[in-house]
Structures are given as structure tokens and as C-alpha cells.
Amino acid sequence: MGRARWYYTDSTSRNKPPADRTPAIDTPPIIIPRDQHNISRANISEHALKVLYRLHKAGYAAYLVGGGVRDLLLGRHPKDFDIATDARPEEVRRLFRNCRLIGRRFRLAHIHFGREIIEVATFRGQPQDEDSEEVANANGEGMLVRDNVYGDLESDAWRRDFTVNALYYNIADFSVVDYTGGLEDLREGVLRMIGEPAVRFAEDPVRMLRAVRFAAKLEFRIPAELGEAIRAEAPRMGSVPPARLFDEVLKLFLSGHAQRTLELLREYQLFGHLFPLTEEMLEDNDPFALPMIRQAMVNTDARIMADRPVTPYFLYAVLLWPPVREAAARYREEGHSALQAMHHAADEVLARQRDHITIPRRIQNPIKDIWFGQWRLENRRGKRPLVFAEHPRFRAAYDFLLLRCDVGEVDPEACQWWTEFQEKDDEGRREMCNLLKRDRAPRKRRRRRKPRGQGAATE
């Protein structure tokens, strides 16, 4: 991906931060005027512009901020546009009839335009500011559980997580404002944290996952000191509510950079805190686990690149399959049938995974359908193929089977058979089932015919 495209004037270059750190608080910001950066209002959502202009017209400060500014500077097309302002949430709501206030930890204004939501946040201040009207509360481990301290533009910039996410586009004069050195880091392709990493990770451990996600998405380098801090603080992931991590995992793997994300999660020892049962299988050098997960990530990225749908349940089915397969084998050794073993294994793994990531029931059922479907795909007796082909999760189970075939876990003959089966019409499918039945039917021993008269009563 291309780097940011802008040029420093002599007046701004004096404030350019050193390459190995962010500038200190109270350093004058770098301000890039309109004619020296590449952000165009033509590339900003019309609804975001409407919000920015209305806030500005009402006398409030209004800035586009975060990933939207970062991606525009990189020549990308942002999916979301967030806004920062000095207007309080209640003041924003008075300006927009289509506004809803959400959040307890962070009070935010969501302005709805059909399916598009423009998020507006009030400038945040430092949590230790005793003179603030609001307070920030932390638990015993330093994690912020309530944070509605309001401040100004500068304090808001220093409260953000990474320098490349602390860039502001001012609708008043169309300039870009940089307090933390984000412009230089964007130019160099470096992901740098604002403040002491250990402290920022204690405030919110999910920032470690965000570091991995941005590094994978932007193809940015994680500096050695930040990488070391992530490894050291990775156990803090255990303090994050499991329900919150479900969506975080989807952001990690369903953004088009799943393959790189997987490698970074394992490199920085985060994957095991998300999927400990699967990580055990990987550490035990299971011959199928890592190749299958890697191939699934490659396929996921390809589908997203081709604008084809991807589903959360398929992703989770892949990530949890290694421990399910191992547990099912254990239940088989205890004397359970193949189907019973699969049921017990699925329930066991999902129950244990619940301690780390809460998977909604609406997702659990399709996951199980895919896993149970593997037994149905491998047992093609009688009319079972004809019945299972009508199942709503048949195609997902078949794609899952192909993954297993790709890594050698399943006999390729089964995949070839099902591929040909889907290409046939109803009559052709019935004929395939009949052929399979005849091929598998045990041959009857031919009874030797006795010569005529033999065995008859003799006189």
C-alpha cells in the first residue's frame, strides 16, 4: 500500500518529531494547510460533511478524526467517519433529531442517516484531572471502566491510542492537525503508541488487539519496544469481558487481512489468550491444525477481496475445529459412536471457550451444523446425500470439508465425490447414490448348484 502523500513546509518541519518517539505533551502541533495534503471533501461521506458543517455553523469545533483521516491521507477509502467536537453529547443531540446517545463507559452521539451512522465524540480530557466536572473510574488493575472526562483538542489527541489515529481534519479551514507525530509515523509506516504502552494496555487491554489489526491492515511495522510490551502484557486479555471479544475477533479476521493477522497474533502471544484450546493443539504440532487455519484465512481474504460474503460462524468453526477433532477422538476411544462423540466434543469445546469469548447462541448452532455436517459428508450410505444436500448449511459444511481435504485430514475421494454430486441433476445424484450403494454392497456367496437327482431319496 502507498504511504501518505503530503509535503512539509519549513515552518512545519521544525516540529517534526524524532523517528524513535512521539513528541512531548505541550509540543506545538504540526498544522498542514489545505494545499499541502491530499484530503479532498469529495472523498468524505456527505453525511459526515453535513454533521461537520452543522456543528461548525452552530459555533462548535468540528474535526474529522481517527481512521478516516489516516486512510484518506494514505489514499484509501474509509468505511467509517468519526467526528470529534467540543460540543457535549446533549448539545449534539439538540442539533440533530436523528441522534441517539449511547454508551456508559464512553458517552457518544450516534447520528443516523439510514444505514450509515456518524459517530460524534466530545473531546476527552486526562482522567486524573480533578477539576473536571466528570470523572474517570478505573478498577483495581488500572482498566478504565468509566471515562467521561471532557477536555480540549490537545488533550483529546493525547488520550488516543496510536499516533496515526490521532490526526484531525479541521472543517473550519480544511487543515490537518497533528499533536503526536502521527504524520511522520504514517509516512514511515510505523505503528507507535501514545504514552507508556504498559499503562495504556492496563487501561484497555483490547488495544493490543488493535495494534495487531492496524499493523496487518496498514502493513505497518510494530516497533520492538511496543512488541515487547504486547508480549509482556498479553495476560491482561483475561480481564476483558468475554462478550466484548466476540466482535473484536470478527474485526481481526473479517477485514481482509486475516492471514497476516493470524501470524501477528501468534507472534505477539495473543492468540492463545483468545483460543487457548486451539493454541494447545498448535503447540503440540498437530499436523493438520495450523495448515487448515492458515488456508482458511487465505480463503477468507480472497472472498473479501472478491466482495463475496463471509460468515462469523464459519470462521469460529475453523478456529475451534482442532480441539473439537481431538475431543471427538477421545470420546470415540471411550466407546461412543462417531455422531455421539461429535456432539459431546462440540458441547465441551464451546463450553470451555465461553470462558474466553462469548459466542452467541445464534452463532453456536450454525457452528455445530458445520461440525456435524462433517460426519454426514463422510457417511454417504443410502439416501443420506440426497437429504443432506437440502440442508441450509450443506454448502458451508462442504466448503469446510474441502479445507480438511486440502491439508490431508480427509481422503480426497470424498471431496471429489461431493463435488461431482453437486454438478449433477436430481436423476444424476440418485444414480451416484445407487452406484455407491452397489459398490459398497457385500457380495452374496453363490450357492453351489447340486446335480440333478443329488440329495433325492434313494430307494
Active site members: 80, 82, 161
Q: Hey, which bits of 282-388 come out as E strands?
A: none
Smallest Cα–Cα separation from 148: which of 158, 157, 159, 140?
A: 159
Q: DSSP for 373-439, please give it.
A: HHHHHH---TTHHHHHTTSTTHHHHHHHHHHHHHTTSS-HHHHHHHHHHHHS-HHHHHHHHHHHHHH
In degrees and rounded to multiples of 5, residue 285 shows phi and psi of: 60, 40
What sign has the CA pseudo-torsion 230, 236, 240, 246?
positive
Distance, in Å, from the CA atom of 127 to the CA atom of 206, rounded to the nearest integer, reads 18
Q: DSSP for 419-430, please give it.
A: HHHHHS-HHHHH
Q: Is there a contact between 226 and 197 (Cβ–Cβ < 8 Å)?
A: yes
Collapse the DSSP code of 119 into the 3-class scheme (helix H, G, I; strand E, B; otherwise coil) and give the result: strand
Q: Over 26-38, what HEC string results?
A: CCCCEEECHHHCC
Residues 6+ apart with CB under 8 A from 389: 421, 422, 429
Residues 6+ apart with CB under 8 A from 22: 163, 180, 181, 192, 194
